[in-house]
Structure 1
Amino acid sequence: MIERKQGRRSAQDAVKTKADILRVAANMFCELGYERVSLRQISERAGVSHSLIRHHFGSKEKIWYAISDCLQEFMIGYIHTIIENMPHKLPANEKMYIFAVRLLAHMLVSKQPIQLIADAVRQEDALLDYFVDKSGKIQAVVDAIADEYNQEHPQTPINVWEIKWQMIMYAHGAASLTPFMLQTWSEETDDIEQCLLNHWQMFNKIMAHRLQVDPDKVLNPKSISELVYAKECAL
């Protein structure tokens, strides 16, 4: 019985150690970029031996792939959470609107995915290809909503990739050009949360107009956190 408990504890410790390594590595990749991070640096910051990291992952590249897998799994789950919390029988335009503005809100609060994508663009194509929805599950969900909208609004169809591109621009702008964002509203506030809300509102107005959402259906939160569902990422 004691040996069995020790075995379970050892397995749990290994899982926790791997999660800690991934969390540290993800933060370092976002902070420094993939090329500037070494396994030895990860081991030092994580407080584990270099050999232990190699035992669990084998290489820096495999650590990056594991981080990508975790974020992909989380984002797929989060997207389904947004859809599941939509009111039943919602018109397609409102469905697409809520999906876009709520997902951007999450991307503004949780910067890691967009930071890793931006860094992947600067690296080998293999990293970007691996990171950007290799399963196709996210794209399938988004396409289904867009197809429903286009069927209901054949005179004003949307290109879902344009909406995704706008989301990427707004998310990356806030993550990588924060000082410029703060300067934009410096005369009215020095609160970064308020600046993020103002930034989100710009996108919100664009989406509401583009998707023909009635004014009384347009979201007007007092903070970004109101739009984000409490769902923890493994990283």
Structure 2
Amino acid sequence: MTERKQGRRSAQDAEKTKCDIMCVAAELFCELGYERVSLRNISEKAGVSHSLIRHHFGSKDKIWYAISDGLHEYMEKYMGTIIEHMPKSANANEKLYFFVVHLLAHMLIAKQPIQLIADAVRQEDALFDYFIDRSGELQKIVFAIADEYNEKHPETPVKIWEIKWQMIMFAHGAASMSPFLKQTWSDETTDYDQCLLKHWDMFNQMMICRFGITESQQVKPASVADLIYDVPCEFKSE
């Protein structure tokens, strides 16, 4: 019985060590970029030996893929949470609006995914292609809502990939050029959170017009953080 407990504890400790390494590596990849990060950088910041990292992961690219898998799994859960909170009796235009403005809010607060994507674009195609997912079940749900919208509004059809591109631009702009973001509204406020809210609202207003959202259907948060759902993010390695 004692041996089993020790075995479980040992496995839990090993999983925690892997999780800690991935968290540190993710921070370094976002801060420095994939090419400039070495296993030695990761080992020094994580406070573990170089050989231990090689034991758990083998190489830098395997750490990167493990991080990407973890973030992908988390984003799937998060998008599922948005869909769960979506007004069930709403029309397709309101559902699409609700989904995209909430998803952008998360992308503005949790910057690691967009930072990793932006860095992957600068690397070999294999890294970037890893982020392109057209087959997920949640994506099918969103595309089905878009199809419903397009049937009702054939004169103004929506393309999900265009909306996705707009979200990427807004998210990446906030993540990579925050000094410009703060300068844009410097005559109104010095509070970064309020600047971020104004940045989000630019996209929000575009989507209100794009989907014909009425006053009563509009999302009006006091801060971007008010739109975030509590979905724990934990890296897990295979």
Q: Displacement of 1:149 after TM fit? A: 1.3
**Residue 190 of structure 1 aligns with which residue?**
190
- Equivalent residue, structure 1, for 2:50: 50
Q: CA deviation at 1:226?
A: 1.1
Contact 2:43 2:50 (C-alpha < 8 Å) held by counterparts: yes
User: Following TM superposition, by how much is the alpha carbon of 1:133 offset from its aligned partner in structure 2, in angstroms?
Assistant: 2.5
**Aligned twin of 1:165:** 165
1:225 deviates by: 1.2
Indicate whether 1:226 and 2:226 are aligned: yes
The equivalent of 2:86 in structure 1 is 86
Alpha-carbon separation, structure 2, partners of 1:211 and 1:195 = 25
Partner of 1:209: 209
Q: Is the 8 A contact 1:39 1:50 kept in 2?
A: yes
- The Cα RMSD (Å) is 1.2
Identity score, percent: 67
TM-score normalised by structure 2 residue count: 0.96
Partners of 2:26 and 2:15 in 1: CA distance: 16
TM-superposed deviation, 1:153: 1.5
SS of 1:131's partner is: coil
1:151 is matched with: 151
- C-alpha separation in 1, matches of 2:42 and 2:53: 9
Letter in 2 for 1:177: M
- What residue is the counterpart of 2:24 in the other structure? 24
Deviation at 1:139, TM superposition (A): 3.2
Deviation at 1:134, TM superposition (A): 7.0
What letter is aligned with 1:181?
A: L
Q: Shift of the alpha carbon at 1:122? A: 0.1
**Which shows bigger deviation, 73-82 or 152-161?**
152-161
**TM-score by structure 1 length?**
0.97
> CA distance change for structure 1 residues 39 and 138 in 2, over 3 Å: closer, same or farther?
farther
Q: Is the 8 A contact 1:72 1:133 kept in 2?
A: no
Larger RCO of the pair (alpha carbons < 8 Å, separation 6+): 2
Distance 1:119 1:134 in 2: 21
Q: Unaligned regions of 5+ residues in structure 1, if any?
A: none
Which residue in the other structure is 1:74 paired with?
A: 74
Does the 8 Å CA contact 1:57/1:63 hold for their aligned counterparts?
Answer: yes
The answer to whether the 8 Å contact 1:117/1:132 transfers is: no
* 1:138–1:122 Cα change, 3 Å: farther
Q: Please state if 1:174 is matched with 2:174.
A: yes
1:76·1:137 contact (CA, 8 Å) conserved in 2? no
Residue 104 of structure 1 is matched in structure 2 by 104
1:134 and 1:166 mapped to 2: Cα distance?
17
Distance in 1 separating the partners of 2:216 and 2:6: 59
Cα drift, residue 213 of structure 1: 0.8
